[in-house]
């Protein structure tokens, strides 16, 4: 009977130690994730990364775009139509615009708690807005149509900052991004942890 109790005690202790070690390994394991990423200006995108790559710090890549072809047409309302006079012709904005926009960032994540963390990244972004301009003769007949770059356009260094929340095997992110500290955007992502 003493041997049975001794063996049972040893087995229970080893099971408890194994369970505790498995829980510790689970908390420290690298968690790969991939999923949808979007923003108000760039609704199409993806985000991939690894949590706990260096202890509590991870790596990620985030890509967002307006469209894969970058040539969607949008209505553009102008309060006062601007006219630029030439020698025998004039330029008139029609009110139509095209927008091309994309951003790619590489960044770091850091866990502050078991299911909460922060992220931040740097990369390249572009927001190009073009306006349709009719080239009119003085008798108001259309000679040609051109697309002119709007002053609201920008491209260059992009950055993003935000927070991650992990719920079971899902990772939710909300944050903000900017291109050249000129155009700001609200972004979000939903990813699955593997």
User: For 13-17, 92-96, 128-132, which range has the lowest pLDDT when averaged over its residues?
Assistant: 13-17
Q: Which domain holds residue 145?
A: 35-193
What CATH code is carried by the domain that includes residue 135?
A: 2.40.160
User: pTM for this structure?
Assistant: 0.70
In a domain, 3, yes or no: no
Top pLDDT among 33 and 22 is at 33
In a domain, 2, yes or no: no
pLDDT confidence tier of residue 149, bands split at 50, 70 and 90: confident
Residues near 174 by Cβ (< 8 Å), separated by ≥ 6?
162, 163, 186, 187, 188
Per-residue pLDDT, 130: 77
| Digit-coded pLDDT (tens) for 76-89 | 333 333 444 455 55
Total domains in the chain come to 1
Per-residue pLDDT, 152: 77
In a domain, 22, yes or no: no
Token pair of 157 as six digits: 């260094």
In a domain, 14, yes or no: no
In a domain, 29, yes or no: no
Residues near 190 by Cβ (< 8 Å), separated by ≥ 6?
35, 36, 170, 171, 172, 173
Query: By the 8 A CB rule, do 119 and 159 touch?
Result: no
User: For 44-48, 61-65, 145-149, 184-188, which range has the lowest pLDDT when averaged over its residues?
Assistant: 145-149
């Amino acid at each position: 009977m003493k041997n049975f109790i001794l063996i049972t005690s040893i087995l229970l202790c080893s099971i408890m130690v194994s369970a505790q070690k498995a829980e510790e390994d689970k908390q420290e394991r690298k968690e790969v994730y991939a999923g949808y990423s979007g923003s108000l200006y760039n609704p199409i995108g993806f985000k991939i990364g690894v949590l706990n790559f260096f202890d509590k710090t991870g790596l990620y890549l985030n890509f967002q775009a307006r469209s894969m072809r970058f040539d969607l047409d949008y209505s553009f309302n102008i309060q006062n139509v601007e006219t630029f006079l030439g020698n025998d012709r004039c330029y008139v904005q029609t009110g139509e615009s095209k927008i091309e926009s994309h951003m790619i960032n590489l960044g770091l994540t850091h866990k502050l708690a078991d299911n909460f963390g922060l992220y931040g990244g740097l990369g390249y972004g572009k927001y190009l807005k073009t306006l349709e301009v009719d080239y009119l003769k003085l008798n108001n007949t259309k000679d040609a149509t051109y697309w002119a770059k709007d002053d609201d356009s920008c491209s260059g260094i992009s950055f993003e900052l935000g927070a991650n929340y992990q719920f079971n095997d899902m990772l939710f992110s909300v944050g903000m991004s900017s291109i050249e500290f000129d155009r700001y955007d609200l972004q979000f992502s939903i990813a699955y942890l593997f």
